[in-house]
């Protein structure tokens, strides 16, 4: 534990308690429920995209309803370590109830707010898909190359470092999260902003693949979780960037 963390009374990392395990299970169960709802809501005309060779037409109201559920399914597992850290700090400080719920809500608010721009991007991809397979594949290839290139940018590394270090975020914002539910909501939004900065390019790849394509969703969710939580997450992120660029170049040259 760092000196700054000790000064702020943040408990040192240790084996999770039963309450913390229960919270982790609850978060994963919530994500699992979101996966189930997404699977039940998926329709054939919503599962394709420019990378799969067919349009992904969907009505805006339905999209805006399903988008937060999809984001919960994909992002909640990766946010679990940070949420556990806040719960541990809240228990040590005897903070009021509702802190963790407000934090999780703030995290999801950020991703839910991206629904409208995501829908605009999706409609653009729909228009491209209607022009034919060759154009769709080329645009999809460019999307992959751009997403892969973003993996190597300073902004990506900056956001990923903060996503991978929940203790550092607790040092900076732990007091705010415990002061009130509104503070916890704000800190959750702050953490969601880091996550958005880390993952937005991969989310665009999801839009290109098809918003209800569960295979792409599962693959990207697993990669995002590994990048944020695995011991060598930065190396995984770099490998993902190389793979995306390589696949994009292959699609352009085939």
The pLDDT of residue 55 is: 42
- Cα 86 to Cα 69, 92, 169, 178: the distances in Å are 23, 10, 10, 9
End-to-end CA distance of the chain: 51
The pLDDT of residue 28 is: 66
Render each residue's pLDDT in the chain as its tens digit; 254 residues: 445 444 444 444 556 566 666 666 766 676 667 666 666 655 544 444 444 444 444 577 877 887 888 888 778 777 777 777 777 777 776 666 778 888 889 988 999 999 899 888 888 888 887 776 788 888 889 999 999 999 999 999 999 988 877 667 777 777 777 778 888 888 889 889 999 999 999 889 888 876 556 677 778 878 888 888 778 888 999 999 999 999 999 988 88
The pLDDT of residue 22 is: 67
Rounded Cα distance between 142 and 131, Å, is 16
Domain ranges for the chain, please list them: 17-253
Q: In the chain, which ranges are continuous DSSP H helix?
A: 3-7, 18-41, 60-93, 99-113, 115-129, 133-150, 154-164, 166-179, 181-209, 214-229, 233-253
Rounded Cα distance between 141 and 100, Å, is 40
The pLDDT of residue 155 is: 95
Rounded Cα distance between 52 and 66, Å, is 20
What's the pTM value of the predicted model, to 2 decimals? 0.76
- Cα 223 to Cα 1, 36, 173, 180: the distances in Å are 28, 20, 27, 34
C-alpha radius of gyration, the chain, whole number: 19
């Amino acid at each position: 534990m760092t000196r700054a963390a000790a000064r702020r009374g943040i408990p040192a990392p240790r084996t999770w308690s039963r309450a913390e395990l229960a919270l982790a299970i609850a978060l994963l169960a919530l994500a699992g429920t979101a996966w189930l709802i997404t699977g039940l809501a998926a329709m054939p005309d919503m599962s394709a995209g420019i990378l799969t060779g067919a349009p992904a037409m969907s009505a805006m109201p339905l999209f805006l309803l399903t988008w937060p559920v999809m984001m919960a399914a994909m992002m909640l597992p990766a946010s679990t370590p940070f949420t556990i850290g806040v719960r541990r700090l809240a228990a040590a400080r005897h903070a009021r109830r509702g802190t963790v719920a407000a934090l999780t809500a703030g995290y999801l608010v950020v991703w839910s707010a991206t629904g409208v721009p995501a829908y605009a991007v999706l409609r653009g991809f729909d228009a491209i898909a209607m022009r034919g397979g060759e154009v769709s594949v080329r645009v999809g290839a460019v999307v992959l190359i751009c997403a892969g290139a973003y993996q190597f940018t300073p902004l990506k590394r900056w956001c990923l470092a903060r996503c991978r270090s929940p203790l550092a975020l607790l040092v900076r914002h732990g007091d705010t999260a415990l002061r009130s539910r509104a503070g916890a909501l704000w800190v959750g939004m702050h953490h969601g902003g880091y996550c958005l900065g880390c993952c937005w390019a991969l989310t665009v790849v999801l839009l290109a693949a098809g918003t209800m394509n569960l295979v792409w969703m599962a693959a990207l969710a697993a990669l995002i979780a590994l990048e944020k939580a695995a011991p060598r997450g930065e190396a995984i992120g770099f490998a993902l960037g190389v793979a995306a660029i390589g696949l994009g170049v292959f699609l352009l040259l085939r």
